[in-house]
Structure 1
Amino acid sequence: MTNAADPAIVVVTVRPDPGGLTRLFASGVPSLVVTDPGAALAALATKSADLVLVEAWPGLDAPALIRALRLKPHLAHTSILLIAEGNLAEGNLAEGDPAEARRRGLEAGATDVVLPPFDTSDLALRGRNLIALARAQDAVESQARALTREVERAAAESQEREREIIRRLMLAAEFRDDQAGDHLTRVAGCVLAIADGLGLSEEEGNDIALASTMHDIGKIGVADSILRKPGPLTEPERYEMMQHALRGYRMLHDSPSRLLRLAAEIALTHHERWDGAGYPQGLKGTEIPLPGRITAVADVFDALISARVYKPGWPLERARRFLEEQSGAHFDPDCVAAFLSRWDDVVALVEERPADRAA
């Protein structure tokens, strides 16, 4: 793409009258004439042009010059018009064969090749058409770049809206349980540790961690008498509590938001067990989506170390041993191994946000 400081036409020629070609075009078209390949490459080292005219006179290796120009990224799509004039037999372009001259010129990267005999009107028309084409391409590329920036901006705004929705829903869960905020933060941190240990990309890990903060959103529909009951739940109460997985899924699954659909999947599957003894669907092994398997480890670990009205929190090492014992039974062994491989990060997270502190 050219700018105000770039010439529209660069003419590379060794002819005695280098100005003859430039006079074929409108006088208002800025031009630069150079008389050797080195000067052409220097002139176009950083600048572009709408059209480069190369005359294949004896003494000028036109194909080599065109190939060298094409190696410059900013000239990769510049229009290059090769003018194969002069005594071809004395030059090095095509040994006097016009068809071969055209083939070699195009293979070298010329946009078009003009062979003798030609008239100046035809040459001028071709040159002006190539200039118009270059400027039209510049306009299209400029519009495409502007459209890309607009799409990226809209996508960024959409992603931020998704994250804001998730943060608001996370607050809703926190209002039901004054310890939920720190619990959800620790679970998300543990999810990040597991995702990293599994070798997932940073983007994948961040998405699963953010979506995991909504794994218990279905508890909004559970009565406080059950949610905060200090003693063991009755069978009907336990059944009611288990419904939070399905409720959370139903709240989120039909959202147009990719992150909310991921959160729905986690809400539905984070109580499934590797051995198939979990709920609500009794999925087994890799039937359980990976985000659900990751969140299961993080959620249970944090539930164990957290103090609740019905139990004291466990020491970290005891909770660690439980995960090791339940690897391959309750939990995906790979997820447990990944979690333990980032144990120092987990300890630092818990120290920063203690499990016995209210949100």
Structure 2
Amino acid sequence: MNKFKILIVDDEANNLQILLQILKEDYQLGFAKNGTDALRCIQEQQPDLVLLDIMMPGMDGYEVCRRLKADPSTAQIPVIFVTALDEVEDEQQGFDLGAVDYINKPVRTAVVRARVHTHLSLYNQQRACEETVRQRTAELEQTRLEVIQHLGRAAEYKDNETGLHVIRMSYYSELIARALNWSEEDCKLLLNAAPMHDIGKIGIPDAILRKPGKLDDTEWTIMKQHPEIGANILKGDTPLQHMARDIALYHHEKWDGSGYPQGLAGTQITLAARIVAVADVFDALTTVRPYKAAWPVEKAVEFMQKQAGQHFDPDLVRLFLNALPAILEIKEKWKEALLAQ
């Protein structure tokens, strides 16, 4: 079993030697003689606990603790002050900065061992709980995504499209968002929202959705209602519902203003919907439909390039095509042959 790592920080060699003798049998120890070295060692070694002197030349222990707690990568590491300062105000200042305990010098072996053992045990339990929460959260997020994908696939099955379309285009959309340097949270939000882009087709009569030929004017007018139907279905107050609603409502708008249902143009169309429009059309072009063969990727790329600045946001087309190798990996992973499995 790996030993816990402890960083001992003190400008006096004798104090370092005393703590070394007390702790060396049970822990992996590191040492620093000033605040600057302590911060460097903490970043490099990521110790499980820091024993920190206060009265040091230059940067004192209080400032080391303040900086440690201000950095998200080190904020959770427990700090125990080991100091000759014994006033109540000194202890209070240390606790206010985030220290978990206070050991007075001269140190006593039993006290050091007991305090170190207690706080390492608590820290280890905290990390175990956090890992459990992370795992459960990841499981919930995966379950939510799968439910959303199934919902999106249900809408696609009602149409002449395939259920895997919503999976591919949602991952394409996520890739574009990452190329835009969206946060991890927002990328996942888009991944979850994109599959619901055509959910409004649930409200369109089957005779129109499944018509093999061209729609007449009346039928087309009805078909163009599906974005607003989808937006009504997806009304809600959560970030996911807001993004999904915008995508459903606006993904058929076009950069030049010739789309529907509102005839918006350019940046009047929400960015998430502009992203989904690129991903949606590319996948539709390169996939077999009952009424058409799949386009070769090269032909689809040429079409996307020609439509940049007309149908599509030109910057998003550029980012999409830059990510084409990753796009094609997703396309292969979720190819139509999997539908029968």
Say yes or no: TM over 0.5: yes
The one-letter code matched in structure 2 to 1:301 is F
Q: Partners of 2:226 and 2:298 in 1: how far apart?
A: 29
Question: Structure 1 residues 204, 276: closer, same or farther in 2, change over 3 A?
Answer: same
The one-letter code matched in structure 2 to 1:75 is L
Q: Partners of 2:36 and 2:282 in 1: how far apart?
A: 63
Residue in 1 that maps onto 2:297: 316
1:37 aligns with 2:15: yes
The one-letter code matched in structure 1 to 2:266 is G
TM-score, normalised via structure 2 length: 0.63
Q: Partners of 2:173 and 2:235 in 1: how far apart?
A: 21
1:171-229 CA distance string (max 9 Å, x none)? 42243246422322331343244334434455544442332122111111111111111
Unaligned runs of 5+ in 1: 1-5, 7-34, 49-63, 85-101, 115-127
Residue in 2 that maps onto 1:80: 82
Q: Which of 275, 300, 305 is equivalent to 1:294?
A: 275
Unaligned runs of 5+ in 2: 1-5, 7-12, 27-32, 42-46, 53-78, 106-110
1:209 aligns with 2:191: yes
Q: What is the CA-CA distance between 1:265 and the residue it aligns to?
A: 2.3
RCO higher in structure (CA 8 A, sep ≥6) = 1
Contact 2:230 2:248 in 1 (8 A): yes
Q: Partners of 1:195 and 1:329 in 2: how far apart?
A: 21
Residue in 2 that maps onto 1:188: 170
Alignment of 1:141-156 (within 5 A): 152=134, 155-156=137-138
1:251 aligns with 2:233: yes
Q: Partners of 2:145 and 2:314 in 1: how far apart?
A: 30
Q: Which of 223, 243, 247 is equivalent to 1:266?
A: 247
Q: What is the CA-CA distance between 1:350 and the residue it aligns to?
A: 4.1
Q: What is the CA-CA distance between 1:284 and the residue it aligns to?
A: 2.2
TM-score, normalised via structure 1 length: 0.60
Q: Secondary structure at the match of 2:211?
A: coil
Q: Partners of 1:348 and 1:140 in 2: how far apart?
A: 44
Q: Secondary structure at the match of 2:84?
A: strand
The one-letter code matched in structure 2 to 1:39 is Q
Question: Structure 1 residues 251, 146: closer, same or farther in 2, change over 3 A?
Answer: same
Residue in 1 that maps onto 2:319: 338
Q: Partners of 1:67 and 1:222 in 2: how far apart?
A: 67
The one-letter code matched in structure 1 to 2:271 is L
The sequence identity of aligned pairs, in percent, is 36
Indicate the larger mover: 273-282 or 345-354. 345-354
Residue in 1 that maps onto 2:259: 278
Q: Secondary structure at the match of 1:74?
A: strand
Alignment of 1:342-353 (within 5 A): 342-351=323-332
Larger radius of gyration: 1
1:249-283 CA distance string (max 9 Å, x none)? 22223164x43443222212211111222222333
Residue in 2 that maps onto 1:224: 206
Q: Which of 146, 152, 155 is equivalent to 1:170?
A: 152
Contact 2:160 2:290 in 1 (8 A): no
Q: Partners of 1:67 and 1:333 in 2: how far apart?
A: 49
Q: Secondary structure at the match of 2:17?
A: helix
